[in-house]
Every structure is written in structure tokens, then in C-alpha cells.
Amino acid sequence: MRQRDSACQVAIIGAGPYGLAAAAHLRAGNIETRVFGEPMSFWERHMPRGMFLRSAPSASSLADPEGRLRLDRFRAAHGVPHAKPVPIEDFVRYGHWFQEQAVPHLERRTVADVAPNARGFHVRLDDGEEFHARRVVVATGISLFAKRPEQLADLPATAVSHSFDQADLGRFRGQKVVVVGAGQSALESAALLHENGAAVEVLARTPRVFMLPDGKSTGVGAELRKRLSPYVRPPFDIMGPRFASWLIAWPRVFRHSPRALQDFLTARAVRPGGATWLIPRLAPVAITTGCTITSAETTPGGLLRLKLSDGTQRLVDHLLLATGYRVDVARYAFLAPVLRDALRTRDGYPKLAVGFEASVPGLHFLGTPAAGTFGPLCRFVVGTKYMAHELTRHILSGNGARS
């Protein structure tokens, strides 16, 4: 199929929270938009069954222009219990409902190639269709960026995998598993592994495991904070200390802040840690801190021998890497080499201007890749409101101004 003369104003690549929220806003602004991808595929296919969102329900809604499609509206309409924390299954169902309501004409196809041309961009789909788009919005999430230690790269997938690869942790029932990491993914994966009948140990290089405060302290100070909360709590109270949340809640301010302040705020907002509600579930789980893997090798019997920095060894069935994600725009294979080469970057993140526009005019990045310029808010679902609104406002302004 080839349609060389067809065109649209905006092509969105990705149908997760950011792609769907952007499409809802752009279409409300009468901007011709085509959206490509499988809705909520990362959350549905790469998050372990039984997990919960670390973000509070109030910070877990996808943004639509009128605020009619919030998570609480979905729960009320479908009789879904108002559970806290939010089960991943409920969030995925909510995302599909949002898509059906706000982006009904989603195209479940894959973008194979994006190249610049005189009309903006030439887009080719994997089924052969070709068309022109004045602007392209990349909202593909973090799937491409799973971080795996180089020293483990040669080990077979049967012995070592990234948490991204494991949606069903029940497959490890009766096995010995070491989980590497100290963040929510590592700690919750460990809890789920234990609950699914695996013998599990968490291995963290940090000197201790940090658990996020839940705000349930007691006493006079706690009562005063409760009374003042409606007036002084930051608009996005999900990212570390409140003073940091206040600063992170204003991405334009973050963008123009000194690099040292940006690095400090990012470190505070995304430091490895687990939700407080995990503490009782982790009580039976062995956790070793201040330790790293120095070498790993498979044994003739098919097990994995790990040598640790403290001089000890582990013999396990599997090593699960909950080592996070590292953005690198060079990994966007669908972007033509000329586009990737033209992108100005910093530590793998694209440098962006107003409207999340890259150094290539008309090319925009939403979600985590925008965090290098606009801060940690872009890493969370709650950031869809700001980013979808600002993207739409920038495109509607029609001046393409960069500042």
C-alpha cells in the first residue's frame, strides 16, 4: 500500500499515556492528527502481573482537555473499586477506555521510517503506506531504553533478563532468583517473586534501601501539616520532598534553571526507592545492600554463579535486572540517520525548546525523553496534562517560535 500524496498535520508515534493525551488535546484543537501504536502496550505487556502504581490515584489520570476522562470517572462508570494503590490491571483498562473515548481512530500499525522532506516529514509504515506529516511527535515511552550492565551482556536470556522482559513472574516458582536494584521495580518484583513461590534475594549497591515517606506520621507537626496541606501542598505531590515537588511542577522554570539545580532536583525526584506499602511484603525477602556483582558465569548444570564485591558467591536459577532505563535517542531506529545526526542532545536526551520541539524543526518528543530539558515531571503520568496542553498551544500558535 502506497499513498505518496496523502498528508496530515501531525503524526504521533506511540499510544501510551503521553501519545493518547497529546492526541486528545490536538484533536480538540481541530488539528488533523494520526496516531500509531498499540494502546497501553508497555503497561500491558511489560509490567508484572499483580503490580501496583507507585503514583497516587490522584496523580494517575491521563489528561483530556475537559478533564472528563479522569481515573475516578472511569472507576465510577465501571464499578471499579477505588483502590489505593492502583492495580496495574485497573490502570491498563482505564487507558484502553480513555483511548476509546478520546482517540477512537487510533491506527494499530507501526511506523517504520521517518525522514525529512520539503513538506516536513515523509512517514512510512510497516505495511508500506507512505504519507507526509508537517510535524511528528515521538511518544514511544521507554521500551527502547532498558539498561543492562555490559558485563552481563553475553549471558543467555534464560539466565539473565531485564524487568522489562518479565510480565509473568509466576514462571519462577520454585527457583532461586536474585533481583538487582533498589527502586520500586526491584522491590516490587522481589515481593511478587516471593509471593509466587520463588526464593528471592535483592542485591543493591546503595548502602540502604530507601522507602518513600507515606505522609502518615502522627503528632502535633503532622496535624499542622494536615491542616495546611490544601494550601501548601505542591500540585504534583508524587516526587520526593515537597520543596522539590514545587520546583519540578514548573517545567519551564526547570528548563531555565542552572544545570546544578536541575541535577539536584532530578536526583531527589527519581532516587531509587520503594513505596511504603511494600514494607510488610518485603519482610520475608533477603536484601543485601552495599554490594555489586563483579562477575557472572553459567555452570554446566545450567545455573548462574554470581561473584559479589563482598567476596561471597550466589548460585541461582535466574538474575533479574531491575536496573532502570537510560534514554538514548540514537536508538530510535525509525528515525532516518540524517534526523538522528541532526538532533542536539545531552547525555542521550534530546535538547528541546518550547512545545517540546527538538533541534529539527517540527520534530517533538514527549514523556521521559523530554525530562532532560523539562525535568522529572515528564517521567510521570501526571505530566501528561502539562505536556499535552503545551504541545497543542505551541502548534496552534503557528509561529514555530523557538526560545
pLDDT per residue as tens digits for the range 192-224? 999 999 999 999 999 999 887 655 544 444 454
Angle between helices 88-102 and 71-78 (to 10 degrees): 100
Whether residue 402 lies inside any domain: the answer is no
Residue with cell 548502602: 207
> In the beta sheet, which residues pair with residue 146?
325
Are 90 and 238 found together in one domain? no
Are 173 and 317 found together in one domain? yes
The beta strands (E) that lie in 111-227 are given as 111-117, 120-125, 130-138, 160-162, 176-180, 199-203
Whether residue 247 lies inside any domain: the answer is yes
At 268 the pLDDT is 78
Are 229 and 130 found together in one domain? no
Whether residue 37 lies inside any domain: the answer is yes
Whether residue 1 lies inside any domain: the answer is no
Are 236 and 176 found together in one domain? no
Sorted by sequence, the CB contacts under 8 Å of residue 209 that are 6+ apart come out as: 182, 187, 202, 273, 274, 287, 289
Check whether 189 has a pLDDT greater than 80: yes
At 210 the pLDDT is 83
If you average pLDDT over residues 311-321, what whole number do you get?
97
Query: How far is CA 230 from each of CA 3, 72, 176, 210, 233, rounded to the nearest angstrom?
Result: 54, 20, 47, 27, 6
Are 169 and 196 found together in one domain? yes
At 155 the pLDDT is 93
Are 57 and 21 found together in one domain? yes
Check whether 370 has a pLDDT greater than 60: yes
pLDDT per residue as tens digits for the range 114-173? 999 998 999 999 999 999 999 999 999 999 999 988 889 889 999 999 999 999 999 999
Instruction: Using alpha carbons only, give the angle 210, 263, 232 rounded to the nearest 5 degrees.
Output: 70
Are 160 and 262 found together in one domain? no
- What is the residue type of 168? D
At 230 the pLDDT is 44
d(C-alpha 73, C-alpha 87), whole Å: 16
Domain final residue pick, 321, 350, 385: 321
At 82 the pLDDT is 92
Reference 99, options 35, 194, 185, 156; nearest CA is 35
Per DSSP, the three-state class of 344 is coil
- What is the residue type of 75? R
Are 357 and 289 found together in one domain? no
Concatenated DSSP letters for 141-173? TTGGGB---GGGTTS-TTTEEEGGG-S-GGGGT
If you average pLDDT over residues 315-335, what whole number do you get?
96
* Mean pLDDT for all residues in the chain: 90
Angle between helices 17-28 and 88-102 (to 10 degrees): 20
pLDDT per residue as tens digits for the range 235-277? 555 555 566 666 778 888 888 889 998 888 888 777 888 999 9
Whether residue 127 lies inside any domain: the answer is yes
120-125/130-138 β-pairing:
antiparallel
> In the beta sheet, which residues pair with residue 161?
320
Reference 324, options 206, 235, 241; nearest CA is 206
Torsion angle of alpha carbons 39, 43, 48, 49, nearest 10°?
-50
Domain final residue pick, 283, 299, 321: 321
- What is the residue type of 358? A
Number of domains observed in the structure of the chain: 3
Are 362 and 376 found together in one domain? yes
Instruction: Using alpha carbons only, give the angle 195, 197, 199 rounded to the nearest 5 degrees.
Output: 100
**CB of 350 closer than 8 Å to CB of 329:** yes
Burial class (CB in 10 A: 0-12, 13-18, 19+), 160: buried
Whether residue 179 lies inside any domain: the answer is yes
**CB of 68 closer than 8 Å to CB of 189:** no
At residue 28 the predicted structure's pLDDT band, cuts being 50, 70 and 90, is very high
Whether residue 215 lies inside any domain: the answer is no
Residue with cell 494550601: 231
At residue 325 the predicted structure's pLDDT band, cuts being 50, 70 and 90, is very high
Q: Which domain holds residue 43?
A: 7-145+326-397
Write the CATH number for 316. Answer: 3.50.50.60
349-350/313-316 β-pairing:
unpaired
| Residue 207 grid cell | 548502602
At 368 the pLDDT is 96
Whether residue 72 lies inside any domain: the answer is yes
Are 33 and 111 found together in one domain? yes
pLDDT per residue as tens digits for the range 48-93? 999 999 888 999 999 999 999 999 999 999 999 998 999 999 999 9
d(C-alpha 316, C-alpha 219), whole Å: 46
d(C-alpha 184, C-alpha 357), whole Å: 31
Are 119 and 264 found together in one domain? no
Are 226 and 301 found together in one domain? no
